[in-house]
Amino acid sequence: MDNKIILPPKTDDELIKSFPGFTNNFAVVDGIKLHYVEGGSGKPLICLPGWPQTWYSYHPIATQLAKAYRVIIIDIRGMGSSAKPDSGYDKKTMAEDILKLIQYIEIDKVNIMGHDIGGMVAMSFAFNYPQFTEKLIVADGSHPSEGMMQMSLIPADGTFNEKMDSNMPYAWWMAFNQVKNLPEKILEGRFQYLLDWLFNYVMIDESKMTELERRIYASAYNDAESIRASNAWYQSFGQDIEDSKSYQPLLMPVLGIGSYVSYNYMKMGLPYVAKDLNVIGIMDSGHYMFEEQPEQVLEAVFGFLGT
């Protein structure tokens, strides 16, 4: 099979032009370079993206959020234009990256929001630094827990179809991304194939993920170093689970936003770790809810943050 052609990526400087009032920024914290974009004014809202996306995933909602908040979207360790070191992909270390960054830009306390892997890092930040956390929002991604050990290696009969089954979700990539060295060899130069399959599988309407967005994300993950770094987020789940055993329940207000594939699981799991909790479902959206139902996401976020 011939490799699918990936057009040259647009730079962060080109992409930021579609974020009116936002700027590109870099900071080096404890030797780790972090890329972030910032816009708006008011109380700070830290936004963390997930796999396999970058800061650009907040494009459908960022400018609206910036009308009420100082929005800071961060390429987490291993993502996009941020550093991709050999280690440090446990969520506790990645949460420390976020703390060091907000201290670098002289912010005392933040609202923090994360999607997918970004939700895991946001929760770790809240667990480890509650004194810096005003409110927490997790969208289709909560901290790794022992429940992950119950995930099926083989899909139940009749449940592995074109679209993800909400009752018996089969996320085979959670295991595939555990494998070291092999995914880079298979996917380097071919990441678009995985990307397109994934968007079709976990979205209700995959057409909401535009060709530009697909091009941006395919380019961001198309090289061996980026595949290795992003897979390290998954390979650290064991350490994340161990770390979680010492965490105290979250006392700050927490909002969970679940898609049709995750709402029931978030509603069952989050009450064990958060005392002041609201979980809502966007049931007409798949995993990439910012793209599929941005207005519902904004309504939930503004309602929770008090705008």
Across the chain, which distance is largest between two alpha carbons, in Å?
53
User: What is the average per-residue pLDDT within 123-146?
Assistant: 97
Q: What does the pLDDT average to over 119-127?
A: 98
Would you say 286 and 295 are in contact if contact means Cβ atoms under 8 Å apart? no
Per-residue model confidence as pLDDT tens digits over 34-84: 999 999 999 999 999 999 999 999 999 999 999 999 999 999 999 999 999
The string of pLDDT tens digits covering residues 181-202 is 999 999 999 999 999 999 999 9
Domain span at 106: 15-305
**Number of structural domains found in the chain:** 1
Residue 64 lies in a domain: yes
pLDDT of residue 9: 67
- 5 part of a folded domain: no
Read off the pLDDT of each residue in 149-176 and give the average, rounded to a whole number. Answer: 94
- pLDDT, mean of residues 103-130: 97
CATH of the domain at 232: 3.40.50.1820
**Which pLDDT value is given to residue 1?**
42
Tokens linked to 286? 């798949």
- Please indicate, yes or no, if residue 235 is contained in any of the structural domains: yes
| Residue 251 forms part of a structural domain | yes
Give mean pLDDT, residues 96-107. 97
Rounded CA separation 41/140 (Å): 26
- Cis? peptide before 52, omega within 30° of 0: yes
- What digits encode the pLDDT tens for the residues 257-291? 999 999 999 999 999 999 999 999 999 999 999 99
pLDDT at position 8 is 60
The residue assigned the tokens 């679209």 is: 163
300 is a domain residue? yes
* Contact yes or no for 219/6 (Cβ under 8 A): yes
What per-residue confidence (pLDDT) applies to 10?
A: 80
Residue 75 maps to a domain: yes
- Residue 10 resides in a domain: no
How far is residue 114 CA from its own chain's centroid?
A: 5
pLDDT at 2 over 80: no
What's the pLDDT at 7? Answer: 56
- Asked if the structure places residue 2 within a domain, the reply is no
Q: In this model, does residue 3 exceed pLDDT 60?
A: no
Share of the chain above pLDDT 90, in %: 94
Is this model's pTM higher than 0.75 or not? Answer: yes
pLDDT above 60 for 93: yes
